[in-house]
Amino acid sequence: MAELFRICNLTKTFAGKDVLKNINLRIYRGEIFALIGPSGTGKTTFLRILNLFEKPTNGIFEFDGKPVNGTPLEKNRIRQRSSLLFQTPAVFNLSVFDNVAYGLKVRGFDKSTVEKKVKEALGIVGLSGMETQKARTLSGGEAQRMAFARAIVYGPEVLLLDEPTANLDPYNVAKIEELIRHIRDKCGTTIVIATHNLPQVKRIADRVGVLLEGKLIEVNSVGGIFTSPGDARSAAFLKGEMVY
């Protein structure tokens, strides 16, 4: 598989504290890569670096074979090809339709294409018929599914998911997981998911990275990490033991 992200010796420091330490990682096209670790270990910061909201303090960060230097134009160019879904979706004070159509409109799609794609995306996430509803009146699960539709509607090559099912009921968790698999299988989208939901990782991921105290201590296949973890700290984390 071709590399999409290449990260070498990446460090991120906030106020003198290393939040991410010497991260080395390659993420390949079309894979579902799960980044697991306890809360506060740097998973969100890592995703924010991938979506260019944070600049690495040190190290090399390449996207699609090119080094990322973080100019506004380059940020926009990369973001045009990716999407980040937050743990709690930020919902615009608009209708469901206009929320989902947002990414298409900023890309200049014509009206009929916008209507067709939004309808299709809402169908995929199970929100057909709710186009005119105010997005802020949706339930938490519906809002997350709407945000998912908004993130995939323009066909991003990369989908970055930050704890996308935290605080959701089992129905919506299953629905989101189904959508993640669907979008990867149907569109070949590369998916990077930050989570501490281990059963979910087992169900959807291809490869897993274990992040502890800002260090990526192990990268393994999903089968490998759960059957024979290569690091004692990974094994302890997977067993639910305190590892930090």
Partner 1 sequence: MGSFEFLLDGIVRAFELIVTLNPYILSITGVSIKVSGTATLLAAMTAIPLAFALSFVQFRGRHAVITLVNTGMGLPPVFVGLFVFVMLVPAGPLGFLNRIFTPEAMIIAQYILITPIITGITLSAIKAVPEPIIETVYTLGGREKDVVLTTLLEARFGVITAVLAGLGRALAEVGAILIVGGNIAYTGSVGGIGEGLSYTRTLTTAITSETSKGDISTSIALGIILIAIYLFVNVAAGFFRRQD
Query: Smaller CB distance to partner 1: residue 11 or 51?
Result: 51
- Report which of 129, 103, 130 is spatially closest to residue 117, judged by C-alpha positions: 103
Tokens 């004692």 belong to residue: 232
Question: Which H or E element spans position 121?
Answer: helix 111-124
Shortest Å, Cβ 102 to partner 1 = 5
Under the binding rule (CB under 8 A), the answer on residue 80 touching partner 1 is yes
Query: Smaller CB distance to partner 1: residue 20 or 101?
Result: 101
Under the binding rule (CB under 8 A), the answer on residue 244 touching partner 1 is no
Choose the stretch contacting partner 1; rule: CB under 8 A; options: 71-79, 115-123, 125-133, 211-219. Answer: 71-79
Sheet holding 3-14, edge to edge: 17-28, 3-14, 58-63, 66-67
Rounded Cα distance between 228 and 9, Å, is 26
CA R_g for the chain = 18
Query: Smaller CB distance to partner 1: residue 13 or 80?
Result: 80
Question: Contact at 8 Å (CB) between 244 and 38?
Answer: yes
Exactly one of 46, 97, 148, 154 binds partner 1 (CB under 8 A); that residue is: 154
Under the binding rule (CB under 8 A), the answer on residue 187 touching partner 1 is no
Choose the stretch contacting partner 1; rule: CB under 8 A; options: 33-41, 82-90, 114-122, 204-212. Answer: 82-90
Q: Which two tokens stand for residue 118?
A: 């939004």
- Report which of 94, 155, 164, 96 is spatially closest to residue 128, judged by C-alpha positions: 96
Question: Which amino acid type is present at position 1?
Answer: M
Binding map of partner 1 across residues 98-117, x = CB under 8 A, - = no contact: ----xx--xx----------
Shortest Å, Cβ 76 to partner 1 = 6
Rounded Cα distance between 46 and 105, Å, is 28
Under the binding rule (CB under 8 A), the answer on residue 190 touching partner 1 is no
Cβ neighbours around 224 below 10 Å, total: 14
Shortest Å, Cβ 106 to partner 1 = 5
Residues contacting partner 1: total by CB under 8 A: 24
Under the binding rule (CB under 8 A), the answer on residue 151 touching partner 1 is yes
- Please give the residue ranges that form the binding site for partner 1 (CB under 8 A): 51, 53, 72, 75-76, 79-80, 82-84, 86, 88-90, 92-94, 102-103, 106-107, 150-151, 154
